[in-house]
């Protein structure tokens, strides 16, 4: 039965939860398909995550391999294909807890970088799992800066082979997933040398393990890189190459080729390839970043209406902790952010789909803008959501610290997203470079991409709000964000310009402005997110109460941002001190309004108990019972520990000296 404290929250929902779920999924049909996939996966015991929190790294890895293998069978049975409508829900249903994710990157990189001949040769083998692939780019000493990679591939014209080497320890490949134990092949990125000349970094297909007995190939040293904060199920690996020879045909040569005599030839445009890299950053946002935040909000908010602590009124029952303003102030802005980012993700997907069509027509004009979008939003959303999940974790007090709450693993997983696919600070600076360029162009009256036309309309002005309720107008707060973004970008551009004019070298000047540049890029992304949220709300259907509650969340998201970055808005007096007091008061009022719908708002995310895998967050709210039952399953309670006989007993019997 459902805990009455949770049941009562659901009775007072101001909107239809089912309709909101359909809205989030993009239609009722999508909801139906998603639920069917989740159902099929969750009723299959091989995919169970029940014991996940008790498993060792070895056990997690083995389970992931088992699931990866079983998934092939399952897809066949269910008739799911990679191009079917079900495919995108499989990963969500598995909560990512499966091996061979790098195998698909291996396939994709051959499809994108390989010639037709290479595709014909390798893709069928990979598709049938005749070989297992990985993707080896990052090295022990090199991550972000691709040109700095040290692995070498020297062409030997006499044998028509490349000789691959790891010249020093920092050149070892380090981190690639599926490579530590599983992979038989990998795409290795190495500096190409022909006749003593370096041609830069290129991709090579290298076999690393025997297809017969899985032993390492000659010249290969490979293994697992050891325990991490999460991803215990993935065998992130290291790889050292000593005079490993591969045939000339193993260099992926759609764009560059080394001919038999050693002549190096460039062909075609790499721009489309560049676009593919860019889309990866956007494609991870939904599954790896927004869904974990939605799960964390679900767990923390349900738990906060079940948990009672202290009294709000003398003589009454202890209060639900969600009734405390401080608890609302921790959780509800994170909930609003989950919705804000869900909508910005829709926006980005659409933008990239449109961009893709343009690029297929060989129109590359939108590339710089798309690149700036993917970098900036990847950085902003991952950083925001990571701290949001951590806030949810800490808002659950002691029990949040138990792995059984599900929150620690959500947190340790999401935080990796701040680093992979581009370190966030580096990405923000790429967006900043685009913004500065556009600002300069706009100031000179030149045309700029649509997302940054606002930079051209720099007007000083003041916020026109007269009273508190004026701040419920999206125009008012969107303008404020726009003003802040323009101010930060223009002042940084001016500073950069000033430094350069005073004789500072360009790169030094850039480095001296990077703190401000990163801040400006974030302000730009924040502005676009608020604007998009407000515009999305406009378009929502007005029935079933959905538009109304989304408007509240949009207001909360926007005002929370102003409240938490007050200095940015007060600086230059765009928002006055008195107006800031209005923002604060209104923001706190909104918390109490959204509080009433908090549980229905997380119910609408529609996570099953199995996918939450949390003793605190289940739908029925039987928190304590579940915590107690799950604890019994802990190996520390089931297995007999030698600690008692070996150490405790002599200790208790006061025979310490014998130890």
Taking CB under 8 A as the criterion, which residues in 558-587 touch other proteins?
Answer: 565-573, 577, 580
**Does 584 carry a binding-site annotation?**
no
CB-wise, 32 or 633, nearer to other proteins?
Answer: 633
Residue 598, SS3 per DSSP: helix
Q: Could you say whether residue 528 binds other proteins (CB under 8 A)?
A: no
Q: Which two tokens stand for residue 517?
A: 């540049």
Contacting residue, 116, 197, 313, 362, with other proteins by CB under 8 A? 313
Residue 223, SS3 per DSSP: strand
Question: Which neighbouring-strand residues pair with 135?
Answer: 187
Q: Could you say whether residue 235 binds other proteins (CB under 8 A)?
A: yes
Contacting residue, 43, 198, 265, 652, with other proteins by CB under 8 A? 652
Rounded distance, CA 517 to CA 431, Å? 9
Cα torsion at 250, 254, 259, 263 (round to 10°)?
A: -120
Contacting residue, 138, 152, 304, 375, with other proteins by CB under 8 A? 138
Contacting residue, 130, 195, 357, 462, with other proteins by CB under 8 A? 130
Where does residue 253 rank: exposed (0-12), middle (13-18), buried (19+ CB within 10 A)?
buried
Interior CA angle at 565 toward 490 and 478, to 5°? 65
Q: Could you say whether residue 641 binds other proteins (CB under 8 A)?
A: yes
The answer to whether residues 560 and 384 touch, using CB atoms and an 8 Å cutoff, is no
CB of 414 to other proteins, least distance (A): 12
Contacting residue, 85, 167, 227, 498, with other proteins by CB under 8 A? 227
Residues 202-221 that bind other proteins (CB under 8 A): 211, 213-216
Contacting residue, 84, 96, 141, 368, with other proteins by CB under 8 A? 141
Q: What DSSP designation does 36 have?
A: H
Contacting residue, 172, 282, 480, 488, with other proteins by CB under 8 A? 172
Q: What DSSP designation does 640 have?
A: P
Pick the piece of the chain touching other proteins (CB under 8 A) from 13-21, 370-378, 414-422, 496-504: 414-422
CB of 639 to other proteins, least distance (A): 6
Query: Going by C-beta distance under 8 Å and a sequence separation of 6 or more, which residues neighbour residue 111?
Result: 119, 123
Q: Of the residues 329, 421, 535, 645, which is catalytic?
A: 421
| Sign of CA pseudo-dihedral 431, 435, 441, 447 | positive
Residues 585-604 that bind other proteins (CB under 8 A): 588
Q: Which two tokens stand for residue 54?
A: 């008790």
Q: How far from 428 is each of 186, 283, 369, 422, 431, CA to CA, in Å?
A: 30, 18, 13, 10, 5
Residue 320, SS3 per DSSP: strand
CB of 539 to other proteins, least distance (A): 33
CB-wise, 476 or 627, nearer to other proteins?
Answer: 627
Q: Could you say whether residue 542 binds other proteins (CB under 8 A)?
A: no
Helix H or strand E encompassing 264: strand 264-266
The span from the first CA to the last CA of the chain, in angstroms, equals: 53
Rounded distance, CA 439 to CA 248, Å? 47
Q: Which two tokens stand for residue 509?
A: 């000047």
Q: What is the DSSP string of 140-173?
A: TTBSS-GGG---EEEEETTTTEEEEE--SGGGSE
CB of 57 to other proteins, least distance (A): 6
Q: Could you say whether residue 12 binds other proteins (CB under 8 A)?
A: no
CB-wise, 113 or 171, nearer to other proteins?
Answer: 171
CB of 441 to other proteins, least distance (A): 23
Pick the piece of the chain touching other proteins (CB under 8 A) from 107-115, 139-147, 262-270, 452-460: 139-147
Contacting residue, 193, 356, 420, 619, with other proteins by CB under 8 A? 420
From the list 33, 627, 69, the residue with the least C-alpha distance to 299 is: 627
How many residues appear in the chain? 659
Rounded distance, CA 508 to CA 505, Å? 5
CA neighbours closer than 13 Å in the CB half-sphere of residue 379: 25
Q: Could you say whether residue 53 binds other proteins (CB under 8 A)?
A: yes
CB-wise, 21 or 236, nearer to other proteins?
Answer: 236
CB-wise, 184 or 536, nearer to other proteins?
Answer: 184
Q: Could you say whether residue 402 binds other proteins (CB under 8 A)?
A: yes
Q: Could you say whether residue 181 binds other proteins (CB under 8 A)?
A: yes
Contacting residue, 12, 58, 81, 243, with other proteins by CB under 8 A? 58
CB of 477 to other proteins, least distance (A): 16
Q: Could you say whether residue 477 binds other proteins (CB under 8 A)?
A: no
The answer to whether residues 338 and 293 touch, using CB atoms and an 8 Å cutoff, is yes
Contacting residue, 15, 47, 175, 533, with other proteins by CB under 8 A? 175
Residues 290-309 that bind other proteins (CB under 8 A): 307-309
Pick the piece of the chain touching other proteins (CB under 8 A) from 276-284, 312-320, 452-460, 523-531: 312-320
139 is catalytic: no
CB-wise, 348 or 392, nearer to other proteins?
Answer: 392
Query: Going by C-beta distance under 8 Å and a sequence separation of 6 or more, which residues neighbour residue 245?
Result: 156, 159, 161, 162, 163, 164, 219
Q: Could you say whether residue 314 binds other proteins (CB under 8 A)?
A: yes
Q: Could you say whether residue 639 binds other proteins (CB under 8 A)?
A: yes
Q: Could you say whether residue 494 binds other proteins (CB under 8 A)?
A: no
CB-wise, 225 or 367, nearer to other proteins?
Answer: 225
Q: What DSSP designation does 377 have?
A: H
Contacting residue, 167, 269, 447, 647, with other proteins by CB under 8 A? 647
**Does 138 carry a binding-site annotation?**
yes
Q: Could you say whether residue 505 binds other proteins (CB under 8 A)?
A: yes
Q: Could you say whether residue 170 binds other proteins (CB under 8 A)?
A: yes
Pick the piece of the chain touching other proteins (CB under 8 A) from 270-278, 355-363, 409-417, 465-473: 409-417
Residues 358-397 that bind other proteins (CB under 8 A): 390, 394, 397
CB of 211 to other proteins, least distance (A): 8
Cα torsion at 146, 151, 155, 159 (round to 10°)?
A: -140
CA neighbours closer than 13 Å in the CB half-sphere of residue 583: 23
CB-wise, 458 or 580, nearer to other proteins?
Answer: 580
Query: Going by C-beta distance under 8 Å and a sequence separation of 6 or more, which residues neighbour residue 642?
Result: none
CB of 213 to other proteins, least distance (A): 7
Q: What is the DSSP string of 80-145?
A: --TTSTTHHHHHHHHTT--S-HHHHHHHHHHHHHS-HHHHHHHHHHHHTTSS-EEEE--BTTBSS-
The answer to whether residues 476 and 470 touch, using CB atoms and an 8 Å cutoff, is yes
| Sign of CA pseudo-dihedral 181, 185, 189, 194 | positive
x/- map, 421-450, other proteins, by CB under 8 A: --xxxx--x---------------------
Q: Could you say whether residue 83 binds other proteins (CB under 8 A)?
A: no
CB-wise, 353 or 625, nearer to other proteins?
Answer: 625
Residues 315-344 that bind other proteins (CB under 8 A): 318, 323-327, 329-330
The annotation places the binding site at 138, 177
The annotation places the binding site for FAD at 138, 177
- Which residues are marked as active site? 421
């Amino acid at each position: 039965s459902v805990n009455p404290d949770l049941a009562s929250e659901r009775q007072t929902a101001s909107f239809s939860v089912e309709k909101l779920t359909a809205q989030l999924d993009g239609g009722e049909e999508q909801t139906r398909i998603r639920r069917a996939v989740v159902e099929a996966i969750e009723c299959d015991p091989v995919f169970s995550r029940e014991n996940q929190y008790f498993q060792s790294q070895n056990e997690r890895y083995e389970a992931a391999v088992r699931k990866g293998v079983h998934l092939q069978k399952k897809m066949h049975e269910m008739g799911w294909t990679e191009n079917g409508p079900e495919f995108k829900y499989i990963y969500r249903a598995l909560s990512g807890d499966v091996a061979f994710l790098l195998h698909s990157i291996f396939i994709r990189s051959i499809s994108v970088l390989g010639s037709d001949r290479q595709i014909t040769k390798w893709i069928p083998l990979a598709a049938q799992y005749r070989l297992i692939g990985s993707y080896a780019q990052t090295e022990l000493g090199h991550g972000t800066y691709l040109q700095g990679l040290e692995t070498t591939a020297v062409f030997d014209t006499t044998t028509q082979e490349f000789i691959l080497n790891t010249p020093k320890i920092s050149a070892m490949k380090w981190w690639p997933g599926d490579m530590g134990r599983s992979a038989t092949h990998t795409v290795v990125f190495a500096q190409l040398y022909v006749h003593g000349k370096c041609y830069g970094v290129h991709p090579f297909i290298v076999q690393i393990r025997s297809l017969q007995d899985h032993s390492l190939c000659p010249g290969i040293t490979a293994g697992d890189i050891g325990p991490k904060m999460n991803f215990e199920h993935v065998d992130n690996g290291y790889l050292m190459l000593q005079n490993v020879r591969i045939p000339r045909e193993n260099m992926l040569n759609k764009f560059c080729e080394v001919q038999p005599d050693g002549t190096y030839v460039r062909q075609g445009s790499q721009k489309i390839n560049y676009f593919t890299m860019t889309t990866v950053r956007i494609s991870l946002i939904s599954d790896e970043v927004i869904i974990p935040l939605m799960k964390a909000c679900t767990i923390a908010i349900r738990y906060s209406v079940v948990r009672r602590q202290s009294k709000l009124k003398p003589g009454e029952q202890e209060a639900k902790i969600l009734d405390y303003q401080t608890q609302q102030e921790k959780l509800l802005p994170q909930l609003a952010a989950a919705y804000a980012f869900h909508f910005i993700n829709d926006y980005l997907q659409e933008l990239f789909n449109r961009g893709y069509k343009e690029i297929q027509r060989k129109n590359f004009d939108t590339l710089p803008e798309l690149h700036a979008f993917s970098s900036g939003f990847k950085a902003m959303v991952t950083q925001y959501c990571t701290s949001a999940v951590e806030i949810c974790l800490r808002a659950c007090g002691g029990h949040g610290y138990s792995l059984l709450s599900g929150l620690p693993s959500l947190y340790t997983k999401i935080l990796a997203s701040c680093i992979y696919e581009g370190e966030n600070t580096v990405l923000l600076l790429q967006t900043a470079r685009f913004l500065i360029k556009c600002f300069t162009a706009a100031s000179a009256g030149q045309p700029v991409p649509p997302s940054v036309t606002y930079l051209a309309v720099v007007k000083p002005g003041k916020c026109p709000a007269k009273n508190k309720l004026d701040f419920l107008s999206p125009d008012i707060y969107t303008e404020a964000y726009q003003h802040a973004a323009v101010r930060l970008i223009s002042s940084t551009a001016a500073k950069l310009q000033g430094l350069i004019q005073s004789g500072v070298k360009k790169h030094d000047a850039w480095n001296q402005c990077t703190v401000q540049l990163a801040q400006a890029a974030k302000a730009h992304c924040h502005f676009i997110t608020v604007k998009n949220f407000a515009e999305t709300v406009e378009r929502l259907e007005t029935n079933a109460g959905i538009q109304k509650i989304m408007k509240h969340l949009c207001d909360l998201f926007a005002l929370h941002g102003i409240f938490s970055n007050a200095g940015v808005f007060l600086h230059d007096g765009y928002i006055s001190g008195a107006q800031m007091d209005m923002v604060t008061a209104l923001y706190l009022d909104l918390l109490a309004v959204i509080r009433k719908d908090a549980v229905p708002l997380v119910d609408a995310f529609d996570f099953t108990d199995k996918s939450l895998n949390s003793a605190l967050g289940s739908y029925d709210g039987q928190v304590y019972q579940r915590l107690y039952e799950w604890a019994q399953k802990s190996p520390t309670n089931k297995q007999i520990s030698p600690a008692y006989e070996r150490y405790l007993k002599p200790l208790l019997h006061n025979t310490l000296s014998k130890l």
